[in-house]
Structure 1
Amino acid sequence: MSLTTVVTNNTATQADIERRPSWQGHLGLRDRLQHFTWAWFTLTMSTGGLATLLHAQTHKFPGLNTIGTIVFIFDLLLFASLTSAITARFILFPRAFRKSLHNPAESLFYPCFWLSISTVILGIQAYGVPACGPWLPVVLRIIFWIYVACTFSVAVVQYYFLFTAANLTFHSMTPAWILPVFPVMLSGTIASLIAPDQPPEQRLPIIVAGVTFQGLGILVSMIMYPIYLGHLMTDGLPAIDLRPGMFISVGPPSFTTLALIGMANALPPNYGFFATHPIAIEVLQTMALFTGCFLWALGFWLWWAFVFPNVGFTIATIDIGRGFESEGILWLGSVMTVLIVVTWCFVFFSHVRAVLRHKILWPGRDEDKDA
């Protein structure tokens, strides 16, 4: 919105006042909700990821599980609140939904909604299954297949849009371009956690699907990395408002590491292929562990992140420590966990402060500014 204001002798006339933007000084809840974008779901990605990380700890203390449960419940409340807020935006401003999916800056964060769902599934597995009956693993199995179908569709459709209508350029490239395939890649992470509680006849298809789509995600990411590094070499760091997207590059190798190790450890012995090739499980577990080390190094080199990608990086570190039975690596994972908890608190405080100071959720300051 552009306005031309005529001021004579530094005195505002009534016409000048009428021309001023309605958002100068104060905005009501309705007007602020107009700028509630998909990027807000990075908050629930990180909070749900933190709950999963707390559950994955090897060095536990009394009350840690309770703390993790509280964080998970808080994540559920946040997810419900964010979903309600963005639904209200689309109801109050009917054209906003279409614009949110067609605006390249905002649409790249649409997958964060699905990534938040993945952390909810992981939290249900971590904190719900031990406290509930055998019905919950069945529900999670059904949810897993629905999630795979939905997120694969997101990856196909959103990339089709980016290829045909987004007008993105090499010079605007950030690892956020990986986000459309990220949710379906997390199928491998979900499979690695829910598979051990599934019967063998259900476990193996889940693991196969997890490996398949984890492979899709890491390969698409590997295709994107040369573009990203080429952009950095030729143009330097991206613009300040695009730099937060740099954190995403840590995620694919990190989550692939924990997914491969987890799925290999969950393979069903004496069932199907593994009944006739029992040594294959040990071979695959060894391959997963050493491949995980290979990918862990890439994640470490790309380590520029705040919470969510480093959740995967830290859990991968813990899984490697378990695999090698190394207390040193396990303690490293514990120290990294403490750092992530501190970082989450800092980022959450900064997020609240940004809202109060009108740095976000304000006209021209969110991902929808170019819509």
Structure 2
Amino acid sequence: MKPPLSKLGHRRELIRQFTPNWFTMTMGTGIVALALGRTSELLPILWNLGATLWVINIALFLLFVSMYCARWIFFFDGAKRIFHHSVMCMFFGAIPMGLATIINGFLVFGIPLIGERAISIAFSLWWLDAAMALICGLLIPFFMFTRHDHSLQSMTAVWLLPIVAAEVTAASGGLLISHMNAGSSATQILFISYSLWGFSVLPALAVLVILFLRMVLHKLPGRDMAASSWLSIGPIGTGALGLLLLGTQAQRILISPDLISVGIVAHGFGILGATILLGYGFWWLVIAILTTLRYLRDGLPFNMGWWAFTFPIGVYSLATLSLADSTGIQWLYYFGYAFVSMLIFFWYVVMGSTLRGAYHGNVFFSPCISDGTGLQLPSKSEKQKVNL
């Protein structure tokens, strides 16, 4: 039997090859934890399972932050190449989105476990998350405009990752406000969250239009990017969830005479807007399922991109259940629970494959330091050592 990490050659490669796409693992694990907490009315033990996964997710996030910081410290020349890589650069958006699931966990699981301190922690982390989401949503597209080489044929739904981070923060803001009293702080977060929603959802919808055109003209992407088709559901599901959460809280928070009517409109707009978005998302969901079945027929090799199977369907399921709460339509609950079941199945498969790949070391690969053929290019400091 081959020893652990045998394909890396040396344990230091764990750091040298570590990339931000590992934070999609925290996104997927975090959304499963939240979905379990949301469906605990069906089976109380689901809350305990969700809380356990949330704690594990915190540990994973801290581990990944430590590993990525270590890469910048010890392998700076290689780490900085990510800003010129047209695909891996997109995964910076996974960092604030992974953090958002932890913030929401403090509100869902943290309050029963550690009391009101959880709200204060979530409040502080939310501002950090908002700042990171804004930076990703502005800086990464600017790099796309100025540094990267892109074409319509090479485009995938991965383009959405840095843009969607802000709307995930917006939806998290809606959940945070639900634990705050009406006042200036809650009102401030409410309007900032709506701004973050527009900052993210509207550009994301534009990207989806381009993605549709790309698939019509150039067909499906390669097998290595097969799971990326599920990413198109993410901004739609998160956008719907954000409208519902913010609309519900707007009616409660906006109690001044000048803003009461705004809160009423926001609540109604949240329900109607979410219904429209979920219908649009269902179209992309069916396309993603058909695309995956098409790839499965020819074989679908595992890579870290498989985590795209988890977070998008997770936020879509939470949005469906939230719409069911707002409307009282019973069949929406059935759909929501079915989507949660799909999410748990995907997470189980992807987590198992990731752990096996991590054990053997074959999922640690940084294309930023590759010459495009799989050969690893030495960093500047490594070249100097060779010359010496």
TM-score by length of 2: 0.82
Select 2:238's aligned residue among 251, 255, 262.
Answer: 255
- For 1:26 and 1:212, the matched residues in 2 are separated by 44
Give the Cα separation in 2 of the matches to 1:269 and 1:130.
23
Q: Output the CA distance in 1 between the equivalents of 2:248 and 2:99.
A: 24
Query: Which of the numbers 325, 329, 336 marks the counterpart of 1:326?
Result: 329
Q: How does 1:301-340 map to 2 (within 5 A)?
A: 301-303=283-285, 304=288, 306-340=309-343
1:121 aligned residue: 103
Q: 1:25 to 1:250 in 2, by over 3 A?
A: closer
1:37-62 per-residue CA deviation (whole Å, 9 max, x = no partner) reads 11111111100111111222274322
* The structure with more helix, counted as a fraction of residues: 2
Structure 2 counterpart of 1:223, which letter?
A: A
Q: Residue 172 of structure 1 aligns with which residue?
A: 154
Q: Return the offset for 1:131.
A: 3.5
1:154 offset after TM fit, Å?
Answer: 2.2
Unaligned runs of 5+ in 2: 289-307, 378-388
Report how far residue 152 of structure 1 moved.
0.8
Compare CA radii of gyration and give the structure with the larger one.
1
Q: Residue deviations 1:143-164, cap 9 Å, x none?
A: 3223222321222122111100
> How far is 1:321 from its partner?
0.9
Could you say if the C-alpha distance between residues 298 and 130 of structure 1 is closer, same or farther in structure 2, counting changes exceeding 3 Å? same
Separation of aligned partners in 1, 2:40 and 2:331? 12
Mapped contact 1:39–1:367 kept (Cα < 8 A)? no
Q: Decide whether aligned partners of structure 1 residues 61 and 340 sit closer, same or farther in structure 2, where only a CA change above 3 A counts.
A: same
Say how many residue pairs are matched.
346
- Distance, in Å, in 2 between the alignment partners of 1:245 and 1:77 is 26
Note the C-alpha offset of 1:113: 1.4
Question: What's the counterpart of residue 303 of structure 2?
Answer: none
User: Aligned to 2:74, which of 60, 83, 92?
Assistant: 92
Distance 2:312 2:187 in 1: 27
CA contact (8 A) 2:160 2:207 kept: yes
Query: Quick one: structure 1 residues 271 and 236, their matched pair in 2 at CA, closer, same or farther if it must change by over 3 Å?
Result: closer
Structure 1 portions without partners, runs of 5+: 1-22
User: Which residue in 2 is equivalent to 1:14?
Assistant: none
The match for 2:250 is 267
Cα distance, 1:312–1:327 mapped onto 2, change above 3 Å: same
User: Is the contact made by 1:76 and 1:120 (CA closer than 8 Å) also made in structure 2?
Assistant: yes
Letter in 2 for 1:340: L
Query: Secondary structure of 1:200's match?
Result: coil
1:65 paired to 2:47: yes
2:192 — aligned with what? 209
Letter in 1 for 2:239: T
**Percent same amino acid at aligned positions?**
20
Q: Identify the range of structure 1 (333-342 vs 161-170) with the bigger mean alpha-carbon deviation.
A: 333-342
Q: Residues of 2 paired with 1:120 and 1:211: CA distance? A: 21
Q: Alignment partner for residue 223 of structure 1, among 193, 206, 214?
A: 206
Matches of 1:190 and 1:47, distance apart in 2 = 16
Deviation at 1:270, TM superposition (A): 7.4
Within a 5 Å distance, the mapping from 1:28-67 to structure 2 comes to 28-57=10-39, 59-67=41-49
The alpha-carbon deviation at position 232 of structure 1 amounts to 0.5
Report the CA distance shift for 1:82/1:159 in structure 2 as closer, same or farther (over 3 A): same
The answer to whether the 8 A contact 2:182-2:254 is kept is yes
Q: Deviations over 1:193-219 (max 9, x none)?
A: 110111212211111111111112111
**Partner secondary structure for residue 87 of structure 2:** helix
